[in-house]
Amino acid sequence: MSLARIAAIITCVAFRLSAAPTLTTIQDTIYKADGTRFNGTVVITWMPFDASDDSKIGLQSLTTQIVNGSIFIQLVPNSNAIPVNNYTVQYSSDGRSQFTEAWSVPPSTTPLRIKDVRVTAATSGGSGGSGSGGGVVTPPSTTPITESAVTGLLTDLSLRPVKGSGYANGGTAMIDNSGAIDMVQGNLSDCVRVDGSATTCFDPSRVPALVSNETPAGVIDGSNASFTLANALSPANSLTLYRNGLLLQAGVDYNIQTDGSILFASAAVPQPGDILLASYQDNATSSDVSSSQVVSQPGVQYSAPQVLCSAAGISTGSASAVSLGSCVIPANTVSVGDRVEVRFSLSHQGAASGFTFSVLWGQTAMVQQTAAQADAIVTGHGDASIGTGGTNLDMQTWGNVLPLASGVAGASSALGAALKVDFQVAISVAGTDSVALQNYTIVRYPAH
């Protein structure tokens, strides 16, 4: 062998022996459980091993300071060492050992965090001391876990409803007789009952009308026992019949015949001078009537006062005018010479804000007033006098603080069109107080 070749071999061996092993950087921030940063030292120890680049790593330890939670350490990768070897990492603070863990450091050209190298206690061990070892980290099992292997899972699943045969997305859910979830079947315009069936929604144009204080047709002479009504009963048991102010009893004082007429018992035949009044629900409808309103049947002649509407309203805390209740008087209900009385009462909850209230007769304001913060109750009443050339309106209002105030206005009669009486309220400062329409009543006094 030539001297040049021997020199080259010696140079290569010397270079190999002088090359330092490749290091992996572990850089992280450590906190205490209370969120403050960890300060102390970390002592890293290891057993001898051969690195993947054949570097011989001897038994030794390394101590590093952790200042304000910051840790920066460079170590020879040992995840592929021979024999397999874990670093034992012991943390100390406040003059005593805090905890110990094992690290398995893989080769990496980028810094790793502690969670990337930490080995759980169950998988660490071996001859490297407490927390170290030569064992390999066992990967999680890939074998599927059956539902029956999980305690109580099947029982819990059996308590949950399942999809029924009629289940579909985008519909209203219902629970069928077997406890499964189905979808309600019906038209898009239908409403859903509590039993999950679908039906046509409430149609205000099909609300039966109530006839009040009608005088049945028939001669009151002491012998005639048959009387008729202006409209068909619907239902028949909706009839209440009064004789001289006393309520008569169906089946005892009278009977309703198949043609809808009233047949009095022989002992209850009306005598001359008696006054008969009948109130009932007929099979006609009123198109602008809510289910909470009682409205007379147009075209029926009345001689006694007639309650058109009487109900409680809703409440509001809005700064915008909100309708708390309304009454729609159907076309041809009032006539020239009639007088319509309007009464209402407002309840004010809170004392941080006043409020404005108004009563609209169609498009005309019967009243518009502003109540004070201390007005817990505000009330008012007014009249609408129906004439040939128009309707005269007058109104009085008062409250706890609001002084008695009155006003008059004029409006068109519009006898052939429906008319809406609307009660509106707006809070001066939204979100502070609320005002409720305690009650409103509208009574018609017919002309004789």
Interatomic CA distance for residues 402 and 149, integer angstroms: 76
Does residue 275 fall inside a structural domain? Answer: yes
| 350: phi then psi, degrees, rounded to nearest 5 | 110, 170
Residue 82 belongs to domain spanning = 23-119
* Alpha-carbon dihedral 189, 194, 195, 198, rounded to 10 degrees: -10
Here the CATH number for the domain that contains residue 88 is 2.60.40.3390
For residue 316, give the CATH number of its domain: 2.60.120
Residues 231 and 328 in one domain: no
User: Is residue 342 located within the same domain as residue 440?
Assistant: yes
> What is the reported pLDDT for 124?
39
- Among the candidates 119, 137, 165, a domain finishes at 119
Cα dihedral sign, 307-309-311-316: negative
Are 282 and 387 members of one domain?
no
280 and 310 together in one domain: no
In a domain, 321, yes or no: yes
Q: To 5 degrees, how large is the angle CA 281–CA 285–CA 289?
A: 95
Identify whether residues 42 and 75 lie together within a single domain: yes
Residue type for position 227? F
Per-residue confidence (pLDDT) for residue 175, from 0 to 100: 86
pLDDT of res. 94: 86
Q: How many domains does the chain have?
A: 3
Render 39-108 in DSSP notation, one character per residue. Answer: -EEEEEEE--EE-TT--EEPSEEEEEEEBTTEEEEEE---TT-BS---EEEEEEETTEEEEEEEE-PPP-
Question: For residue 38, what pLDDT is reported?
Answer: 93
Structure tokens given for 418: 């429906």
Within a domain: 177: no
Residue 348 one-letter amino acid? H
381 in the same domain as 331:
yes
At residue 134, the pLDDT reads 40
Q: In terms of domains, do 234 and 112 share one?
A: no
pLDDT at position 269: 94
- Is residue 199 assigned to a domain? no
Mean pLDDT by 10 residues, the chain (448 residues): 59 54 92 91 92 86 93 92 88 88 93 91 41 45 78 86 85 85 83 81 61 89 93 84 88 90 94 90 52 40 73 92 90 85 94 94 91 94 89 93 91 81 93 92 85
Q: Are residues 270 and 386 in the same domain?
A: no
For residue 208, what are the β-bridge partners? Answer: 285
* 378 in the same domain as 278: no
* Same domain, residue pair 37 and 98: yes
- Tell me the backbone φ, ψ of residue 196, rounded to 5 degrees: 90, 0
pLDDT at 152: 86
pTM higher than 0.75 for the full model? no
Same domain, yes or no, for 280 and 322?
Answer: no
Sequence-ordered list of residues with C-beta below 8 angstroms from that of 63, at least 6 positions apart, any chain: 41, 42, 43, 44
Please say whether the beta carbons of 373 and 349 come within 8 A.
no
Distance of CA 356 to the CA centre of its chain: 29
Question: Do 278 and 356 belong to one domain?
Answer: no
* Token pair for 60: 């030794």
